[in-house]
Structure 1
Amino acid sequence: MEMQPDPKQLLELAHYKMPFGKYKGRYLVDLPLAYLVWFRQKGFPDGKLGNYLNTMLTIKDEGLEPLIRKLRKEFPKESS
């Protein structure tokens, strides 16, 4: 069974920013790999942020960062 990414979630991930800490306000894709690895070792936060940090670690491990940056550029976040 092949898994298909949810386009809506990918767009949200592309625009999601770190809500706290040293890297507060940075897009998750711009977080250093070492920081994501540290989270994996310490334990990702619960909820959406933890899921997105874990997903971003996988994306970086697989060299797919340009895809996320392209999504953010080509599909700017809509103002609410």
Structure 2
Amino acid sequence: MNSEILREICVAKMPFGKYEGMILADLPISYLEWFNRTGMPKGKLGMQLSTVYEIKLNGLTELLIPIRASVKNGK
């Protein structure tokens, strides 16, 4: 998995909808499941949401802990 994509989902915010302004990695799984059923947005946002969905679906959120720490520390 591309580490830059993981970094981006820990920084990028949802640009619209019920969770507008929330960091993508913090979106609830139910919202991601809805997108998965109805269709992910096109382009980069869709790829990012799909990545977050797969991480959460497979119980891999611990992968984001060191990335969040480095983002928080400005690295």
TM-score (norm 2): 0.84
CA, structure 1 residues 19+60, in 2 after alignment: closer, same or farther (shift >3 Å)?
Answer: same
Q: Max radius of gyration: which structure?
A: 1
Q: 2-side partners of 1:44 and 1:36: how far apart? A: 9
TM-score (norm 1): 0.80
* Aligned residue pairs, count: 74
Task: Please report how far the alpha carbon of residue 28 of structure 1 lies from its aligned counterpart in structure 2 after TM superposition.
Answer: 1.2
Question: What letter corresponds to residue 47 of structure 1 in structure 2?
Answer: G
Runs of 4+ in 1 over 4 A off after TM superposition: none
Q: 5+ residue gaps in structure 2?
A: none
Which of residues 46, 58, 65 in structure 2 aligns to 1:62? 58
Task: State the identity %.
Answer: 43
Give deviations 1:27-80, integer Å, cap 9, x for gaps. Answer: 1111111110000111000001111111111000111113224312223385xx
The CA RMSD measured in Å over matched residues stands at 1.7
Q: How does 1:19-58 map to 2 (within 5 A)?
A: 19-58=15-54
Q: 2-side partners of 1:12 and 1:71: how far apart? A: 10
Q: 5+ residue gaps in structure 1?
A: none
Q: Determine helix, strand or coil for the equivalent of 1:63.
A: coil
